[in-house]
């Protein structure tokens, strides 16, 4: 009986330590599972691609809306951290197209991130559909609509 109790305590400690290390939360873990299952991508590609999509949304959302999204779905910041850094052509898009280039720059950044993950640009829409469906199921229609408007 004491061994069983000690094993439970050890397991609890491991779970707490794992959750404090910034790993993907249980909430976003469902999303990563869906992406890997439905699209046949690796965990790294799922986390990085979802993170790139959430980063793009964050860049287009006001602070209050983004805070609501974080409250509704813990772990988004961990996914954003998993997204590849963008630069090069993605960073220069605004200088080429002027101030109306937000959507062009966003698409270039997503394309760059996906390329660094070894994913084709046509995967962006597939990821976005799964991410939006996940947000709707976990946080509701209003949160999904807010995310969708930040992306498109």
Q: How far is it, in rounded angstroms, from Cα 104 to Cα 106?
A: 5
**Token digits for 152?**
């498109």
Which residues make Cβ contacts (< 8 Å) with residue 74, sequence separation at least 6?
Answer: 25, 27, 28
pLDDT attached to residue 105: 76
In this predicted structure, the answer to whether residue 22 has a pLDDT above a threshold of 60 is no
Per-residue pLDDT tens for 39-76?
999 999 999 999 999 999 999 999 999 999 999 998 99
User: pTM for the complete prediction?
Assistant: 0.74
Pick the closest to residue 102 from 93, 89, 113 (CA basis). Answer: 93
In this predicted structure, the answer to whether residue 121 has a pLDDT above a threshold of 60 is yes
Q: How far is it, in rounded angstroms, from Cα 81 to Cα 93?
A: 23
Pick the closest to residue 125 from 151, 146, 98 (CA basis). Answer: 151
């Amino acid at each position: 009986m004491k061994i069983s109790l000690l094993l439970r305590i050890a397991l609890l400690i491991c779970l707490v330590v794992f959750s404090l290390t910034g790993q993907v939360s249980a909430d976003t873990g469902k999303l990563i599972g869906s992406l890997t299952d439905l699209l046949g991508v690796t965990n790294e590609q799922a986390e990085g691609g979802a993170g790139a999509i959430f980063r793009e949304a964050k860049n287009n959302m006001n602070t209050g809306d983004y805070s609501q999204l974080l409250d509704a779905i813990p772990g988004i910041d961990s996914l954003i951290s998993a997204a590849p850094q963008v630069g090069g052509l993605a960073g220069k898009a605004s200088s080429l197209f002027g101030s109306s280039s937000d959507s062009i720059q966003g698409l270039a950044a997503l394309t760059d991130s996906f390329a660094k993950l070894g994913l084709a640009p046509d995967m962006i829409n597939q990821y976005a559909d799964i991410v939006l469906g996940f947000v709707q199921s976990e946080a509701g229609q209003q949160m999904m609509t807010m995310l969708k408007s930040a992306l498109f």
